[in-house]
Structure 1
């Protein structure tokens, strides 16, 4: 369901901008200083978050998976054109997802278990991005690119009604993204931006709800699919 909704949103947004670009006879924007700022928001779909509770032998380790509902992403960028087709920018963004369910199994082949989960997982990104603009000679400009940086991950989740189990406080991890989109010039200084971003955060450890009595959840990777729209202000 998540993938179907994601594809539908992306296809609808890109089709709308393609039609506008073909129908409109807008003169390409004049040269500017190259600096710009942008604001954006959209829907975010987080893949299942897998993590491991490691116990000393002879106790087995436990593998956990947290499933979340569709979330949201909000953010902004400051950037400049460093070369005719190439833009560099700094992005600060925030994503949040509501917990839905969990499952787990110990690694000695024990029975699987699962249940409802409550609470949320969130991430604050600080990324340096590079985007390559594809000049079409019109106000319609596709682009591709990506970036890397760090992300601060936090969580406050609860598995079933247990006070002991659930992903809690996270940590800082390496983050990256890759994406593509289109911009559509409204005026010489304002453009609309619709795009897709695949974001990842690697190797995050989460405290357990009762960190004094329960082992942490280790080596969690957060991968998300994001469909976003925003406004670019050029200077």
Structure 2
């Protein structure tokens, strides 16, 4: 109960900061910044492919139960609205079911396991600065990035059969996104944004419990994240 009350006081305090702090424009917040982000992560069902055959589909739990994303970013905003950024992020989801099991004659079965993706991205965002006076604290933005991701799956299990320990690969990736930030003070802002991340096929080689042959999959995820930014 005390935790709930403290959380309510904190939220009210942050909102209050936005109304009582001196009026300013987001265009005044230029230069370097650091960001921390966190939120929910949705992973699309993924096919595991071997010898040009999609032999099983991995289905994941709902994000509120298992999926989350976190991130840390360093960037710089220029007066023209361009904002280059370097971002390190981590995403995790747990499996709930295996579908379309070709090697077992089809059908579905409950499954276990987790998928983790760590990404290092070079992003470029465009901030829509100088909005009309009533919206001067808001800054919509959009953009994307290129980089590399480490995709790993571990603890795979179905019907009491274990499929090895951890399987991972390093692959190229890209992301697209859009969001809006809100200036709290001259040095602090918060944001809400959506991001879509996709990788090239990750190759895991032979997997215990399966026929020999390189097992591969591609990863795509959608994230909804809150951010907190400090401007130097």
Shorter-chain TM-score tier: 0.7 to 0.9
Q: Which runs of 5+ in 1 are unaligned?
A: 1-19, 56-60
| 1:221 positional shift | 1.2
Cα separation, 1, equivalents of 2:40 and 2:54: 31
Per-residue Cα deviation, 1:101-143 (whole angstroms, up to 9, x for no partner): 1123449xx9413211112000000000011111214011100
| 1:211 positional shift | 7.3
Helix, strand or coil at the partner of 1:128: strand
CA 1:167–1:221 in 2, change beyond 3 Å: closer, same or farther? farther
Residue 173 in 1 paired to residue 171 in 2?
A: yes
1:158–1:209 CA contact under 8 A, matched in 2 = no
Match of 1:96 among 92, 113, 116: 92
Cα separation, 2, equivalents of 1:216 and 1:68: 22
Give me the TM-score of the superposition, normalised by structure 2. Answer: 0.79
Residue 63 in 1 paired to residue 17 in 2?
A: no
Residue 226 in 1 paired to residue 228 in 2?
A: no
Mapping of residues 180-199 of structure 1, within 5 Å: 180-199=178-197
Match of 1:28 among 10, 25, 32: 25
Cα separation, 1, equivalents of 2:226 and 2:125: 16
| 1:205 positional shift | 1.6
Mapping of residues 205-220 of structure 1, within 5 Å: 205-207=203-205, 209-210=207-208, 214-218=212-216, 220=217
Per-residue Cα deviation, 1:167-192 (whole angstroms, up to 9, x for no partner): 94120111111010000000001000
CA 1:83–1:203 in 2, change beyond 3 Å: closer, same or farther? farther
Cα separation, 1, equivalents of 2:166 and 2:111: 12
Equivalence for 2:72: 76
Residue 51 in 1 paired to residue 48 in 2?
A: yes
Per-residue Cα deviation, 1:33-67 (whole angstroms, up to 9, x for no partner): 61011000000000011121228xxxxx4522101
Cα separation, 2, equivalents of 1:33 and 1:62: 49
| 1:27 positional shift | 2.1
| 1:197 positional shift | 0.4
